[in-house]
Structure formats: C-alpha cells, structure tokens
Amino acid sequence: MANRETKIIIAGAGMGGLTAAAGLSSAGFDVTVYEQSSKLGWVGSGLSLMTNALTALASVGIRPRFEGRAEEFESLYFLTKKGRPIRTINFGEITRQIGHPNLAIHRGSLHEALLEQASGCKIELGAAATGFSVDGDKVTLKLADGRTATGDVLIGADGFNSVIRREIAGPENPTDWNYMVWRATPPFRHPKVTKGYVAHYWGRGQRFGLADIGNGNVYWWGTKNMSAEKMRSAPGGKKAIQRYYRGWADEIQAVIAATPEDSISSLPAQDRPFLERWGKGPITLVGDAAHPMLTSLGQGACIAIEDGAVLTHCLSTIDDPQDALRAYEDRRRERARAIVETSRALSRIEQYESPIRSVMRDLYFRFVSERTLTQQNRLVLTFPGVE
Ligand SMILES: Cc1cc2nc3c(=O)[nH]c(=O)nc-3n(C[C@H](O)[C@H](O)[C@H](O)COP(=O)(O)OP(=O)(O)OC[C@H]3O[C@@H](n4cnc5c(N)ncnc54)[C@H](O)[C@@H]3O)c2cc1C
C-alpha cells in the first residue's frame, strides 16, 4: 500500500504520539491525531531529554528546534541531602561520541518543538478516545462525543491511563511504589544553580532533583516514601513539602520557598506490569501506553520518542502495515523492558529508608569504577537504531 493511501490514526498528542505524527506525515502518510485536551500548550513540568531521544528523532529526519528552549547539560551531580558530593557523572565523552547533547527542558517547550515538526498532519483537539472496533483490515476509533474515525492503523499514544491499552490488555491496576512525587518549574536564581546545573540529592526515603531548564527557570522534583493510604489522605501542600526538606541544602529550601503553591503538582510513583503484547491487527501502542515506567532514569519521554521513530521507520519500509506494526513491537520490546526494569531497580535503591542501606548506597556510588558507570550509562543513552 502506498504511504499516501494509508490512513493513520493516533490517539494522544504527547511525546510518543507527536513523534510518530511528525515522522509519518513527513513520510507521506495521511495522519490524524485525536487529543483529549481542548488546547495544546504550556502544561506539565520539566524533563531531561537525553541524547538517545535526539538520536532517534534525527534517525527519521526529525530535527526539532531547541535553541532558546532548553539547556544542555554535561554533568549530573549526585549529592547528599546537605549538598555534599557523592559522585559526578560526566556525560560529555558519551554525548560527543554519539553526536547529540543531553537537554533539560520544560515539557511545554518540547511539545512546542515537536508540534512544529508535525505541521503536516491534522490534530483534532477535545477528542477523547473511548475505544475501538476492528472490521477486516480497518480500525475505527470511537470518541467520547460520539464521532468515529476509520483508518488502516491505530496508534495508541494516550499515555499512562491509555484506553487503547485497556482494550488490548484488559483491566489492570497500576503498581504502587509507595512514594510521592512533587514537581514544579518556577523562575529561580541561586549561586549554586549555574548554567546547565543538574543535581540529584539523596536522603533516606527521600530525594530531590534540581535542573536549570534555561530562560531563568528551573525544574525541581521531590520524592518521599509514603503509604498509598497517606498519599490519598494527605499528599502534602507546600508547607508539608517545606517541612520534609527542612535541613536539606540551602538551594532546595530556597527553590521550594520560591515556588507558588498552586504550581506544584503531585502524583504517586506508579508503573504497570510489563505488557508482552502491545498490539493486534491494525493496532499498536507507543510510549507510556505500552510501557509506563518509574521516573528514576528520566527516560519515559525519551523511550516514547524512540518508539515513535522506530514505528515511523517500520511503516515507511515494510509494505504491509500490520506486518510493520509487529516488526516495530519486536524491535522495541527488549529495549523498553530493560529501561522499565532498570528504572525500578534504581528507584528501589534511591528510596532506601534504612540508615545502613542508604549509607551503603552512597558508598557504592562514591567508589564504583568509572568504567562500570560509563558502561551502564552508554547502554541507556545509546539509541539501538531503527532496524
Ligand atoms: C515526575 C515525572 C518526571 C519525569 N521525568 C522525565 C524525564 O526527566 N525524562 C523523560 O524522558 N521522561 C520523564 N518522565 C516520563 C514522561 O513524562 C512520560 O514517560 C512521557 O510523557 C510519555 O509520553 P507519551 O507520549 O507516551 O505520553 P504522554 O506524554 O502522557 O501523552 C499522552 C497524551 O495522550 C492524551 N490522552 C490521554 N488519554 C487520551 C484519550 N483517551 N484520548 C485522546 N488523548 C488522550 C493526553 O492528554 C496526552 O496529551 C517523567 C514523568 C513524571 C511523572
């Protein structure tokens, strides 16, 4: 089937959906994206957009404009809660070899940059998917307002609570990891927070991240172990967060104090059991819909972008669209599984509550060889390619 005759429907205009939309519309497919939000804009928080995501975009000819929208970073500082060094990871050698930097960026800026690349496709807003039906080789997406859309391929890119995934996998409960995550992106200046500053501070059962995302803004996130019941009853407003981080490094207390309470969002740390089968017939999943993950590696959006790039390549190079979807799933499954599992393992270690375990953790990271760290980072940061 020629590209222009293949009608592709994408549910969800997040990072994975927009990457697929940009790639597939450039390749000549007839692409329509259905997004539940009524406007696309400055929503969400910050992100690390790592070299593997930029490599994936470039591999299918997508070159978003990030100048003035993001801050490059070469080092990630791991610090104690008081701000004393544990270990610094230098990404410079890896990113120079790979040929793309790591960026810290506001999610809204990334969204804007990807949207510019997806200008060749139609995006319908206020269009919430509720399910689909299959008739022969065709798939029909059902929308909450009663409309339907029929095409040759349906890509479920509708994020953590994907309705397309639910129809494929059946009802599931998310897995709760018993800690809370708060995040915000306020304007902030502090002598410690220099250009390209990215630091993770480790306490006991508690962490904090602080990153310069450019234009005078920072991205911060904090975590704290908490039972699911406590999260539901008292997730904690700004006063509670300030209490949790009392005695931590000055820049942490200052950035929380400088953040308007209504701009702090909170969510429980959750993922889902790994899904072996991401699609059937003319349907597949990308990003969080396929493989939601914990945030410890900062790779969820990056892996969603990798998915979008590989899916673009498969649909552009394999004649039968359904064969292309199965090839895409086979090429992505093990990469996604490895990142989901590594995020879980790292999250367990990072959230250690016991004094002995957290001291052992800090000692391990202080003394582990540079070679071991570089090998681990290189695995995560290397886009395995589209083949
Ligand atoms: C605290 C936190 C920190 C993170 N930090 C990082 C990081 O540093 N680096 C990184 O790479 N990742 C990070 N992530 C993960 C990242 O945000 C996600 O993995 C990524 O956004 C997934 O992209 P996606 O396109 O699959 O889903 P999303 O970006 O969630 O997009 C899904 C889209 O689908 C839409 N949608 C939902 N339901 C429907 C429906 N029924 N019909 C139509 N549209 C629908 C939504 O409105 C949304 O636009 C973080 C996540 C969290 C929670």
User: What integer best gives the mean pLDDT of the chain?
Assistant: 95
pLDDT tens per residue across span 346-384:
999 999 999 999 999 999 999 999 999 999 999 999 999
Residue 333 identity? R
- Residue 296: pLDDT band (50, 70, 90) is very high
34 pocket-lining for ligand 1 (C-beta < 6 Å): yes
In this predicted structure, what is the pLDDT of residue 9? Answer: 98
Evaluate if residue 1 carries a pLDDT over 90. no
Query: What is the mean pLDDT of the segment spanning 3-29?
Result: 94
In this predicted structure, what is the pLDDT of residue 42? Answer: 65
Query: What is the mean pLDDT of the segment spanning 104-114?
Result: 95
pLDDT tens per residue across span 178-223:
999 999 999 999 999 999 999 999 999 999 999 999 999 999 999 9
Distance of CA 156 from the midpoint of ligand 1 (Å): 12
Q: What is the CATH number of domain 3-59+108-172+274-355?
A: 3.50.50.60
In this predicted structure, what is the pLDDT of residue 387? Answer: 86
Distance of CA 1 from the midpoint of ligand 1 (Å): 32
- Residue 44: pLDDT band (50, 70, 90) is confident
Give nearest CA residue, ligand 1 atom 2: 295
In this predicted structure, what is the pLDDT of residue 40? Answer: 81
Evaluate if residue 171 carries a pLDDT over 60. yes
Evaluate if residue 327 carries a pLDDT over 60. yes
Query: What is the mean pLDDT of the segment spanning 5-33?
Result: 97
How buried is residue 131: exposed, middle or buried, by Cβ count under 10 Å (0-12/13-18/19+)? middle
CA gap 229, 5 in Å, rounded: 51
What sign does the CA torsion over 224, 230, 231, 235 have? negative
16 pocket-lining for ligand 1 (C-beta < 6 Å): yes
In this predicted structure, what is the pLDDT of residue 231? Answer: 76
Distance of CA 15 from the midpoint of ligand 1 (Å): 7
Per the DSSP assignment, residues forming a β-bridge with 102 are 73
DSSP 2-42: -GGG-EEEEE--SHHHHHHHHHHHHTT-EEEEE-SSSS--S
Evaluate if residue 107 carries a pLDDT over 60. yes
Distance of CA 338 from the midpoint of ligand 1 (Å): 19
288 pocket-lining for ligand 1 (C-beta < 6 Å): yes
Q: Crossing angle, helix 300-317 and helix 15-26, to 10 degrees?
A: 30
Query: What is the mean pLDDT of the segment spanning 116-128?
Result: 95
128 pocket-lining for ligand 1 (C-beta < 6 Å): yes
pTM of the model: 0.97
Point out the ligand 1 atom lying closest to the alpha carbon of residue 158.
34
33 pocket-lining for ligand 1 (C-beta < 6 Å): no
Point out the ligand 1 atom lying closest to the alpha carbon of residue 11.
43
The pair of structure tokens assigned to 266 is 């909170």
Evaluate if residue 2 carries a pLDDT over 60. no
Q: Which of 9, 33, 36, 132 to mutate to test the pocket of ligand 1 (most atoms within 8 A of CB)?
A: 36
CA gap 206, 212 in Å, rounded: 21
CA gap 223, 208 in Å, rounded: 6
What residue spans define the domains of the chain?
3-59+108-172+274-355
Containing 224, the helix (H) or strand (E) segment is strand 217-225
In this predicted structure, what is the pLDDT of residue 229? Answer: 76
Distance of CA 301 from the midpoint of ligand 1 (Å): 7
User: Is the Cβ–Cβ distance between 248 and 82 less than 8 Å?
Assistant: yes
Question: CA–CA distance from 196 to each of 83, 104, 292 (Å)?
Answer: 17, 8, 28
311 pocket-lining for ligand 1 (C-beta < 6 Å): no
In this predicted structure, what is the pLDDT of residue 168? Answer: 96
Give nearest CA residue, ligand 1 atom 26: 287
48 pocket-lining for ligand 1 (C-beta < 6 Å): yes
Evaluate if residue 235 carries a pLDDT over 70. no
Give nearest CA residue, ligand 1 atom 51: 295
Distance of CA 93 from the midpoint of ligand 1 (Å): 29
Q: Which of 32, 43, 158, 207 to mutate to test the pocket of ligand 1 (most atoms within 8 A of CB)?
A: 158
Distance of CA 128 from the midpoint of ligand 1 (Å): 15
